[in-house]
Structure 1
Amino acid sequence: MKTSDQPAIAVLKDIGYITAGILICGFALKSFLVPNSFFDGGVTGISLLISELYHINIAYVIIPANIPFIIMGIFQVNGRFAWKTLAAIIGVGICLQFIPYPQDITHDKLLVCIFGGVFMGTGIGLAIRGGCALDGIEVLALFTLKRSSFTISEIILGINVLIFSVAAFKLGLPTALYSVMTYYAASHTINFVIEGLEEYTGFTIISGKSEEIKEKLVLEMGRGITIYKGERGYLKESFDVHHPVDIIFTVVTRLEVRRLRNLVYSVDPNAFMFTSTIKEAAGGVLKKRARH
């Protein structure tokens, strides 16, 4: 493949992700959340709340509700992100207005909050993979982060607590609680869609049989490894006794975690291992995966 073709293919992939995200978000809103007066978190939740309280079509609310955060995104991220986000939000509004999504799929509250959240999270996650956002809450969090001591998660949590508190006061506590479940399902689905099955886990292994473990990791699993020089020993009953040891670090996908653990324990049942979550990894001999 020519190098000049790669940017065009990347653009097409982004468009595909964003289009799929828009359609799925529209489906989640119009087929699950809106007919049952359920809410999500973030700006989408604010839009749903306004639509329910003042009986305004959600298609007319969701676009203007996101405009301030899109403008903020120009300064917090970049202009390209903001324009893509604007186009995606308008796309959601068009879908909600003109696409005849089915509205009588189910009125079971548990099914609505679970599947509404899953579809909503899938749509938002695909849009993020395409390089934009379908909810301005992340941009607001970035803006507030630079002006306060709170983390992004704390900021988003605080905003959502406010949204669900208003929903509980205006529409009743059961509706607010079900909406919290919807948001929980959506947020976990977003993480899964963005990271996928290829989410990475870092493994640190300390063993007296490190040479055998290194050989199996590289030759049997095909993993790259990094070695730290350390010492083992220093036990309470023999504090002065210690030995040099190679501390092994490697990165695997979540599908390989069990295989690696079994491989290490087959060599040394007393090996000490601990894992760490890897949010971003590239290069080396990692399995290739798309990053958007």
Structure 2
Amino acid sequence: MKNKLIPQWLTDVFYTVAGILFCSFALKSFLVPNSFFDGGVTGISLLIHETYHYNIAYVIVLANLPFIVMGAYQVSRRFALKTLAAVIALGLALLLIPFEPVTSDKLLVSIFGGVFMGIGVGLAMRGGCALDGIEVLALYTGKRISFTISEIILGINIIIFLIAGIKMGLPTALYSILTYYTASRTINFVIEGLEEYTGVTIISGQSEVIKRELVMNLGRGITVYKGERGFLKESFDVSHPVDIIYTVVTRLEVRRLRNIVHDIDPRAFIFTGIIKEAAGGVLKRRARH
């Protein structure tokens, strides 16, 4: 059992340390020297730093503490301890590592500051912790009000950027919104990668041929639901039994799957949905984080 846990533990540490280095680089080389902001707790910390000129290393640790305590109750104590260690390590990196400003070009700062911040936060999440506690707050709040977690995070970030616009001017706030957008997209890419999975449902009268092609040629596992097709407006009482095929592919394979199905049955009904996490079956084995 220990032999199985050690590699996973080392992988988590590697991801977390790499995430800390990327975040500290983004802050010290891009965002802090140019008075730019991000969303979430990092954005709140940058606002406090710009307003009161406290050291960003201390501010970012103190600002995350309430959310880490909240995470112990909303997620788990292990998650909270790992996050606490990661946030303290981020503060130490900001204090001790002498990253230098890279550029003062506002567009480059907003884009690449967001990219490096997103890589850092995403890697830390793959390591099983968080360098920004805003989602813990959204999870806590979402259980008490009717808004979704995404809506709560959006509302908090709107307040942050409004304050930034008042304090630092509208152009800085707009560039900071670009930074946040770039960071959020990068986080999704780091966590999900190129092999984001897509669930595909196929309804066709040629289901037997399609099933064989998907399994034998595409190499995918399938699940079959028993259903009925028909029920058209001009012949509502007429229906036929049909096998409804469901399979999971990477988004790089969706086009190939569509071509296979349409070559067999041009009238086949196909619809897809994004799957955030998938494991087991005949999918490629991926590390669990």
Residue correspondence of structure 1 range 72-111 to structure 2 within 5 A: 72-103=70-101, 105-111=102-108
Alignment partner for residue 173 of structure 2, among 161, 172, 176? 176
TM-superposed CA distance for 1:218, in Å, is 0.3
Separation in structure 2 between the aligned mates of residue 275 and residue 164 of structure 1, nearest angstrom: 35
TM-superposed CA distance for 1:236, in Å, is 2.3
Separation in structure 2 between the aligned mates of residue 217 and residue 170 of structure 1, nearest angstrom: 58
Separation in structure 1 between the aligned mates of residue 159 and residue 236 of structure 2, nearest angstrom: 54
Separation in structure 1 between the aligned mates of residue 45 and residue 153 of structure 2, nearest angstrom: 16
Separation in structure 1 between the aligned mates of residue 40 and residue 259 of structure 2, nearest angstrom: 42
Separation in structure 2 between the aligned mates of residue 234 and residue 71 of structure 1, nearest angstrom: 55
Give CA deviations for 1:119-153 in whole Å, capped at 9, x if unaligned. Answer: 11110011011010001101111111222121111
Separation in structure 2 between the aligned mates of residue 62 and residue 182 of structure 1, nearest angstrom: 18
Alignment partner for residue 259 of structure 1, among 236, 253, 256? 256
Separation in structure 2 between the aligned mates of residue 142 and residue 241 of structure 1, nearest angstrom: 48
Q: Which residue of 2 aligns with 1:146?
A: 143
Tell me the number of residue pairs that the alignment of Structure 1 and Structure 2 aligns. Answer: 289
1:229 and 2:226 are equivalent in the alignment: yes
TM-superposed CA distance for 1:264, in Å, is 1.1
TM-superposed CA distance for 1:174, in Å, is 0.9
Separation in structure 1 between the aligned mates of residue 263 and residue 32 of structure 2, nearest angstrom: 54
Give CA deviations for 1:62-111 in whole Å, capped at 9, x if unaligned. Answer: 111111111111111111111111111111111111111121x2222111
Which ranges of structure 2 fall in alignment gaps of 5 or more residues? none
AA paired with 2:38? D
Residue correspondence of structure 1 range 232-243 to structure 2 within 5 A: 232-243=229-240
Q: Which residue of 1 aligns with 2:131?
A: 134
TM-superposed CA distance for 1:259, in Å, is 1.3
TM-superposed CA distance for 1:114, in Å, is 1.1
3-state DSSP of counterpart to 1:6: helix
Separation in structure 1 between the aligned mates of residue 57 and residue 2 of structure 2, nearest angstrom: 39
3-state DSSP of counterpart to 2:273: strand
Higher mean C-alpha displacement, 236-245 vs 275-284: 236-245
Give CA deviations for 1:168-224 in whole Å, capped at 9, x if unaligned. Answer: 111111111111111111111111111112211000001111111100100011111
Separation in structure 2 between the aligned mates of residue 257 and residue 193 of structure 1, nearest angstrom: 21
3-state DSSP of counterpart to 2:193: helix
Alignment partner for residue 200 of structure 1, among 184, 197, 200? 197
Residue correspondence of structure 1 range 13-92 to structure 2 within 5 A: 13-92=11-90
Separation in structure 2 between the aligned mates of residue 35 and residue 266 of structure 1, nearest angstrom: 57
TM-superposed CA distance for 1:237, in Å, is 2.7
Separation in structure 2 between the aligned mates of residue 83 and residue 238 of structure 1, nearest angstrom: 63
TM-superposed CA distance for 1:4, in Å, is 3.2
Separation in structure 1 between the aligned mates of residue 145 and residue 151 of structure 2, nearest angstrom: 11
TM-superposed CA distance for 1:246, in Å, is 0.9
Separation in structure 2 between the aligned mates of residue 181 and residue 12 of structure 1, nearest angstrom: 34
Separation in structure 2 between the aligned mates of residue 175 and residue 196 of structure 1, nearest angstrom: 30
Q: Tell me the TM-score normalized by structure 1.
A: 0.96
Q: Which residue of 2 aligns with 1:284?
A: 281
3-state DSSP of counterpart to 1:287: coil
3-state DSSP of counterpart to 1:235: coil
TM-superposed CA distance for 1:269, in Å, is 1.6
Q: Which residue of 2 aligns with 1:215?
A: 212
Separation in structure 1 between the aligned mates of residue 254 and residue 109 of structure 2, nearest angstrom: 33
3-state DSSP of counterpart to 1:203: strand
